[in-house]
Structure 1
């Protein structure tokens, strides 16, 4: 499932993900389990409102690596 992040158009990070979800262009959301809940609470609420599937990833480091970046990531989204 994380391989999808390498093959499809995506956005990474809380701000970009929030904008993409609000604009209705997201197909799937990935959230790191070890990120602070206050950081992703708004994204989780948006996903629930729009019935978007959320996949939880073990760590921010793992999510960042799956996105092809060298830093940790709390959230990433695959775009439609």
Structure 2
């Protein structure tokens, strides 16, 4: 999986103000702070979504863990929106997409307004 500077992956879309359910092509496999942190420590995630309105300590912990794991982090405007993206009935501070056998990331140019943290 190749990282791109100041862009995001084709399959992990992010609009200027956050991520919308319609723009998310791949639903996160897990949601919640503990699950995401554990999966990052085990090197199991290909991407992390992090809500802007999540607790600052949690955000810092997830960002540091993702940096150590060299996993891209994408911001989502609200916990409520991230919960909807993850398909759970409540808000989520963080969610993760598990690694697949073969990366399916295309070499298309990034979408306008798409950005990686």
Query: Same fold per TM (> 0.5)?
Result: yes
Q: Which has the higher helix share?
A: 1
Instruction: Report the 3-state secondary structure (helix = DSSP H, G, I; strand = E; otherwise coil) of the residue aligned with 2:34.
Output: helix
1:4 corresponding residue in structure 2: 26
Higher RCO, 1 vs 2 (CA within 8 Å, ≥6 residues apart): 1
Note the 1:33-52 alignment, pairs <5 A: 33-52=52-71
1:76 corresponding residue in structure 2: 95
Unmatched tracts of structure 2, length 5 or more? 1-12, 14-23, 100-117
Aligned residues: 77
Q: Which has the higher strand share?
A: 1
Provide the alpha-carbon RMSD of the alignment.
Answer: 1.2
TM-score (norm 1): 0.89
Out of 48, 61, 66, the position equivalent to 2:85 is 66
Report the Cα offset of residue 40 of structure 1: 2.3
Higher Cα Rg, which structure: 2
Unmatched tracts of structure 1, length 5 or more? none
Do the aligned partners of 1:3 and 1:66 also contact (CA within 8 Å) in 2? no
Q: Which runs of 4+ in 1 moved over 4 A?
A: none
Instruction: Report the 3-state secondary structure (helix = DSSP H, G, I; strand = E; otherwise coil) of the residue aligned with 1:78.
Output: strand
